[in-house]
Amino acid sequence: MSKKRRRHSPEQIIKKLRDADAMLAAGKSVGEVLQTLEVSEATLSRWRSQYGGMKSEEAKRLKALEEENNRLKKIVVFVLQHQCDAGRPCSETPIRGYAMPRNRRTSINRQTAP
């Protein structure tokens, strides 16, 4: 029997971590806590490492910053790809870790070659 996967918001994660700590302090076993919270032991330990001592507002802010960072990375890659499309020189790796795929670079270079 498999459980349905669900995403938890940072607020829900922090609440579940607080509940888990309270239950463990009250003397419940780890298995009982995991069953009550409906999460696996791996999930609980991952949440503890990510959201350990955070408050709910800090977790919201972290999530918002991560989303903004991903959005900005996509914008930079988009701009760099369009610079190559416009005939400007394309470097092999415009941004460390965010290189344009080699097959796209070669096709652009073939189109701009005389």
Query: Are residues 14 and 37 part of one domain?
Result: yes
Query: Are residues 48 and 73 part of one domain?
Result: no
pLDDT per residue as tens digits for the range 45-73 = 999 888 877 787 888 888 889 999 999 99
pTM beyond 0.75, yes or no: no
SS3 letters for the chain?
A: CCCCCCCCCHHHHHHHHHHHHHHHHCCCCHHHHHHHHCCCHHHHHHHHHHHCCCCHHHHHHHHHHHHHHHHHHHHHHHHHHHHHHCCCCCCCCCCCCCCCCHHHHHHHHHHHCC
Span 22-45, average pLDDT: 92
Would residue 33 count as lying in a domain?
yes
Range(s) of the domain holding residue 46: 8-54
Give the pLDDT of residue 44. Answer: 92
What total of structural domains would you count in the chain?
2
